[in-house]
Chain A
Amino acid sequence: MRALSRVSVYALINVAIVAALVVMLYPLIWMLSASFKTGYEIFHSLSLLPQAPSLDNYISGWTALRLPFSVFFMNSVVLCAAAVLGNTISCTLAAFAFARLRFPLKRVLFAVMLMTIMLPFHATIVPQFVLYEHLGWVGTILPIVVPKFLAVDAFFVFLLVQFIRNIPTSLDDAAKIDGCGPFRLFYWVILPLLTPALATTAIFTFIFTWNDFFSQLLYLGNSVSSYTVPVALRAFIDATSLSSWPQTLAMSLLSLLPIIGFFMAFQRLLVEGISTTGLKG
């Protein structure tokens, strides 16, 4: 009797959770369905099944702006790839120094690094814009990519420091006895063991950069040929009237696919990363 009531309590909890999930994910499911519907149907039918599913919205949406979406996707991919490269290299270098080497001012610099993690980017955005304007970088990806090569996303430095600290120092000692200096210690001992942390850094950098709207609007929002996907979506709702909702939703959905793909492929790694570091998704 007791066992039975226990089973039914669990069943009830499961039902409640699934119901909550359906409500939460309904907007996304609806978006998927709407992208295959006609405009009239989107605003007049609640059914999730399109009457005559068609790819028309995707086909017409792809070329609805002055340049096709392939250009915007390519721009986003190039931007994200450069950001990933920059973040993984520069943050790893800095993290190794903080986690493994002794040097003057280490405590001060480490504290400063921690403080910059919480710094709102508005604190620096106006002079940065002025600087990039004078350098002639506005309209290129440099204002977004160069900071990544200079480890400005201190959060990832912190993440990598935590990871390196967990690597046993006995490995360092062995390497030192064999005559390794700091550079060979980094390259031959630490770096090969960093793969999971580097993957976490790379994937989160990709997702953040792909989703980031503010800096792409600011630096890449002035010429169609430099639009990334989020900026192009914005142009979509500016340039077109309500009648183009089906195409807008279709392109919005496409813009989410890379993130969903990465999430499905690396779900465990990502969720572990969030639980252990408090990373915002």
Chain B
Amino acid sequence: MSEAAREGLAAYLFLLPWLIGLFGLTLGPMVASLLLSFTHYDLLSPPRWVGLHNFQLLLSDDRYLHSVRVTFTYVVLEVPLKLAFALLLAVVLNRGLRAVGLYRALFYVPSLLGGSAAIAILWRQIFGGDGMANMILTSLGWHHPPAWLQDPSYALFTLVALGVWQFGSPMVIFLAGIRQIPREFYDAARVDGAGRVSQFFRLTLPLLTPLILFNFILQMVYAFQTFTPAFLVSGGNGSPVDSTLFYTLYLYNEAFGNLHMGYGAAMAWILLVVIAVSTAAVFASSRYWVFYMETER
């Protein structure tokens, strides 16, 4: 056997577990999910082909359409706010502070813990009608604050707050990016008479746009998939009055609660397409706002 053939064979041996996973647990199920989306399947009797019926049903399912609205609202609010906080704090932390390592770590703590069941439960206490937030607001003189989580007009915003609270992980990425900007750029800007504000908007911000794009896509993809806080804060059903009925929560309840597997698979595929299209759209827009430095290395 030739050297190249032996190396190729060895490579496929190293790749074997990953290949089994790729075909058996990723690509195979993706195809199966697509096929299931054209069937009625309740796990007990064999799948029954129904064509596009699930998709037609989805279009007239008010709860489904509502979950789409809830999820889009969440994504549109949470992602930009989170990135704005991340960017602001990264710029401030980069001002040559001595304790920057400690600050960075502490700001990261909510990102570390925020996805857990424990924090979702904590949120449920804090923003309950008689929770910690309202005790503070009442003591500050607001006599009848809303009952946040029990109030359909506010419940979703408490979850947005929970997401934004976790701005530490994009912040850490921005901070690393800011540190890559050569000092000489700022020296040159100062010589040209640029103040701090103009340094930020003309230098820091353009040079960070590739990272803004990266963080935006990453956070958007995650935000579409939000499940844990919605499930735990609402008690599993998107209450009050479906105001926190996230897409994935409805999918979970339909597929695994009511065993509407075909319906759930159709929802999953739509979600996949929406995420792919959103990502592609953001990428396409990046031509107009992302600035890549011409580097010669």
Which residues of A come within 8 Å of B, CB atoms?
A: 10, 13-14, 16-17, 20-21, 24-25, 27-28, 30-31, 34, 42-43, 46, 89-91, 93-94, 96-98, 101-104, 106, 109, 112-113, 116, 118-131, 133, 147, 149-152, 154, 157, 181-183, 186, 207, 210-211, 213-214, 217-218, 229-231, 233-234, 236-238, 245, 248-249, 252-253, 255-256, 259-260, 263, 267, 271, 274-276, 278-281
Known: A126-B33, A274-B173. A147 touches B25 (CB 8 A): yes
Which residues of B come within 8 Å of A, CB atoms?
A: 4, 6-8, 10-12, 14-18, 20-22, 24-26, 28-30, 32-33, 36, 41, 43, 89, 92-93, 95-97, 99, 103-113, 115-119, 121-126, 130, 132, 135-136, 139, 165-166, 168-169, 172-173, 175-176, 214-215, 218, 221-222, 224-225, 227-228, 231-232, 235, 248, 251-252, 255-256, 261, 264-265, 267-269, 271-272, 275, 279
- Tell which of A34, A126, A133, A183 touches B10, judged by Cβ atoms closer than 8 Å: A183
Residues of A within 8 A of B175 (CB): 275
A152 to B176, CA, bound (A): 28
Task: Report yes or no: B99 in contact with A14, Cβ–Cβ below 8 A.
Answer: yes
B91: min CB distance to chain A, Å:
11
Task: Report yes or no: B7 in contact with A237, Cβ–Cβ below 8 A.
Answer: no
A236 to B94, CA, bound (A): 43
Task: Report yes or no: A281 in contact with B8, Cβ–Cβ below 8 A.
Answer: no
Known: A46-B135, A271-B104. A97 touches B15 (CB 8 A): yes
Task: Report yes or no: B118 in contact with A255, Cβ–Cβ below 8 A.
Answer: yes
Write 26 A-B pairs (CB below 8 A) sorted by A numbering.
A27-B132, A28-B122, A90-B18, A93-B17, A94-B15, A106-B11, A120-B225, A120-B271, A124-B33, A126-B33, A126-B36, A127-B33, A129-B255, A130-B36, A130-B261, A152-B21, A152-B25, A182-B11, A211-B116, A213-B228, A213-B232, A230-B118, A233-B121, A234-B231, A259-B112, A271-B172
Task: Report yes or no: A102 in contact with B116, Cβ–Cβ below 8 A.
Answer: no
Residues of B within 8 A of A106 (CB): 11
Task: Report yes or no: B15 in contact with A120, Cβ–Cβ below 8 A.
Answer: no
Task: Report yes or no: A278 in contact with B269, Cβ–Cβ below 8 A.
Answer: no
A207 to B20, CA, bound (A): 25
Counting chain A CB atoms within 10 Å of each CB, the highest count among B10, B16, B227 belongs to B10
